[in-house]
Structure 1
Amino acid sequence: MRAIREVHSREVRAPAETVGALLDRLGRGEDDPLFPTPAWPPMRFDRPLGVGADGGHAFVRYRVSAYEPGRRVRFDFTAGQAGWHEFGVRPVGPDSCRVEHVLESRPSPVVALTWLLGIRLVHGAVVEEAFDNIERAATGRPLTPARRSARVRLLSRLLWDRPRAVPLPATARLAHDAFPRTDFQDAWQMELRPGMPQEPEAWQGVLGRSGFPVLGRTQDEILLGEDARHLDFRASVQVADGRVTLGTVVRIHRTTGRLYFAVVRRFHPFLARAMLRRCHRRLALAAPSAGEREAARA
């Protein structure tokens, strides 16, 4: 299979030492000023950045194989994929430098096909937005910010994280205490990306424009719901331990309620997942970028 080689570079009007210090903070979660979160999945490792650190971003897995602090870091692909990618910084003058990202890979036919169909576009968008963050953090603003094409926006939507089913957390006390008895409960959960809001009030719109009243709140949980003649329901949104959880509890009153919920129950998991995923994406795309957060801290 023919090798893939992709090179992105940009001149930044800041000293190489300044940009190199930003590069050294790759993969530090909330303290990473470079990787474009929360619009894209974060780069995470099992230890501080250094040779041997294992991790990746989204479904791409790699291990740090070379690291020169302030200058470059190379990642070797793992999980059966041959190749590497590398960020580097080199001085151009006393007050400017060139940042570069190089990817080389010899993919399998399946990986090569996915690269051609769209991963190449996503990769380019992530790298260019990382360069934007470098400029924002080092100079205050990028001279020419990257723009996502319609295809990149579509791919972002299709590849966005998906909620997973979990037990209703024991710490979601408002949901557990909502009714003396419960006829149904479930919960769906997603990981928060660095830079996403941690206050449950920010997630109040997870149910869309339903207008359900807020019936209770704590430091990490907000409870919405409504009572009806046939059944009562509560929706709990809890933000804790780097995750957001949408839980539902239902109390049924009579036979008509059981018949009604027998139908609704078939569609509820799909709707709950869709609402949480849509809200997660909306809040992530509206949040400040890593470079903006770093510039604000500075």
Structure 2
Amino acid sequence: MSGIVKGAQGRSWRPPAFRPNTTLLSWEGQRRPLSFVRGVPFPQESRLAPSYKSAFFVDSFAVSLPLRKPHEVPLDALAQAFFCEPPAWFSLLMRIRDEIMAIFGVKRSTEIQAAAEEKGIDTIGVFPVRSHTEDEIIIGEIDSHLDFQTSILIRPEDRHDGIEHAQNVTKGEELVVTTVVHCHGLFGKIYIMIIRAFHVMIVRYSLARVPSRMQQIINRRSKLKQALRGI
């Protein structure tokens, strides 16, 4: 599958501002920060799986999540944590992308969001929600040069403490972000080849922030419950 671009397997990318200082997970004999972002095989449990073979571009990255009680932090909140409050450099890149691509008749990101909202379609970030289940949200857009979809999937993950004993396996969860792109002609392929390095950087950066933001949500809700008990 020559058009498939796999995530950088085995490589980590940890933005200094989001490195957890105390929370460590251990598995496969290695201790790694919770925000360790890794390339993973394309998830077969995703609803996008049937489209992998025909795609020009696919990549998939994952990050381990803090332990949570059932339904304590819904997938919607994790998706918002992935997309919300982007750094200034990301906003600048999007503005540059919008201005350049508008010359070729491609929709600006704000136009994508406005068009979805006019149709009553939910959006996450600026992108329309195509599909929503308890375990997976798919966003995406069909444009003149390409059709892209991004899956935000939560699934179980076995975490080992480095000791070869079954009782030392913790049932955790990981968030997997998979992007699938189908191109319409040469222009779409050139566009993806140009922006894919920025795409990978942005996905890794955004995923690395999710565990810290999820833990903040858990802590806030815990404090609120304690405050309500004291009333």
TM-score range, shorter chain: 0.5 to 0.7
State the partner residue of 2:84.
Answer: 208
CA contact (8 A) 1:199 1:239 kept: no
Show the 5 A alignment for 1:38-77.
Answer: 40-41=22-23
Tell me if 1:225 matches 2:140. Answer: yes
Counterparts of 1:160 and 1:192 in 2: how far apart (Å)? 7
CA pair 290-40 structure 1, distance change in 2 beyond 3 A: farther
Give, as a single letter, the amino acid of the residue that structure 1 aligns with 2:41: P
Which runs of structure 2 are paired with 1:91-170 in the superposition (5 Å)? 161-170=35-44
Per the alignment, residue 109 of structure 2 pairs with: none
- Aligned position for 2:215: 284
**Residue 188 (structure 1) shift:** 0.7
Q: Provide the C-alpha distance between the structure 1 equivalents of 2:216 and 2:84, rounded to a whole number of angstroms.
A: 17
- Cα displacement (A) at 1:178: 5.6
Q: Is the 8 A contact 1:217 1:223 kept in 2?
A: yes
Q: Considering only CA atoms, is the larger Rg found in Structure 1 or Structure 2? A: 1
Paired residue total = 151
Partner of 2:55: 182
* Residue of structure 2 equivalent to 1:255: 186
Contact 2:34 2:64 in 1 (8 A): no
Q: Secondary structure in 2 aligned to 1:271? A: helix
| Mapping for residues 81-100 of structure 1, pairs under 5 Å | none
Give me the CA root mean square deviation: 3.6
Q: 1:214 to 1:178 in 2, by over 3 A?
A: farther
Question: What CA deviation, in whole Å up to 9, does each residue of 1:112-165 have, x standing for no partner?
Answer: xxxxxxxxxxxxxxxxxxxxxxxxxxxxxxxxxxxxxxxxxxxxxxx7622100
SS in 2 for 1:195: coil
Q: TM-score, normalised by structure 1?
A: 0.43
TM-score by length of 2: 0.54
Q: Say if 1:291 and 1:199 are closer, same or farther in 2 by CA, change over 3 A.
A: closer
What is the CA–CA distance in structure 2 between the aligned matches of 1:291 and 1:208, rounded to whole Å? 22
Deviations 1:174-212 (A, max 9, x none): x22468821111111111112385532122222336321
Which structure 1 segments of 5+ residues have no match?
1-37, 46-54, 60-158
Change over 3 Å in CA distance of 1:245–1:198 after alignment to 2: farther
Instruction: Report which stretch shifted further, 260-269 or 274-283.
Output: 274-283
Q: What secondary structure sits across from 1:237 in the alignment?
A: strand
